[in-house]
Amino acid sequence: MLTKVWTGTTPLRASAVLTNAYVATATKSTEDLSQIVLYVNFTIGSLTRADMKIEFSNDDSNWYQEVSLASVGSGAFTTNQLVRRFSASGNYRIALEAQDKYIRVSCIGVGTLTDSLMSVELQV
């Protein structure tokens, strides 16, 4: 059994003011990871909220956004693209299973962008 020894974190997004359009981070390999842990540091400033999309790829070309399942009547399920919403300043930890070779994160600020900051790090 392969056991990964955590060596620290690597930045996906350096701390910066959010924009009013999604900005994707650089691609990071998750090939040697069995679990992905993202550390998000967020300062809301004058924003209403910040949104984050987490996307995965096996070829670093075609990207697939996280989805959630919502039950609908008659035993059917509907699939929705998942957007993670942050409405208060704080430090957040997001743990995910690593099923793909690559990850990237896209962030957007909603509202007045003044004094907002967000950084995202990947545990490696």
Distance CA 30, CA 41 (A): 21
pLDDT for the residue 20: 96
Q: Is the pLDDT of residue 1 over 50?
A: no
* pLDDT (0 to 100) of residue 73: 66
* b/e per residue 61-87 (b: at least 16 CB within 10 A): eebeeeeeeeeeeeeeeeeeeeebebe
What pLDDT is recorded for position 5?
Answer: 56
pLDDT digits (tens, 9 = 90+) for 76-116: 777 889 999 999 999 999 999 889 999 999 999 999 999 99
Q: Which residue has the tokens 């990071």?
A: 28
Q: How is domain 9-123 classified at the CATH fold level? A: Jelly Rolls (2.60.120)
pLDDT of residue 46: 96
Q: Report the pLDDT value the prediction gives residue 70, as an integer from 0 to 100.
A: 73
Could you read off the pLDDT of 16-61 as tens digits, one per residue? 999 999 999 999 999 888 899 999 999 999 999 999 999 999 999 9
Answer yes or no: is pLDDT of 2 > 70.
no
End-to-end CA distance of the chain: 18
pLDDT category at 120 given cuts 50, 70, 90 is very high
On whether the CB atoms of residues 19 and 106 are closer than 8 A, the answer is no
- Mean pLDDT confidence for 10-17: 94
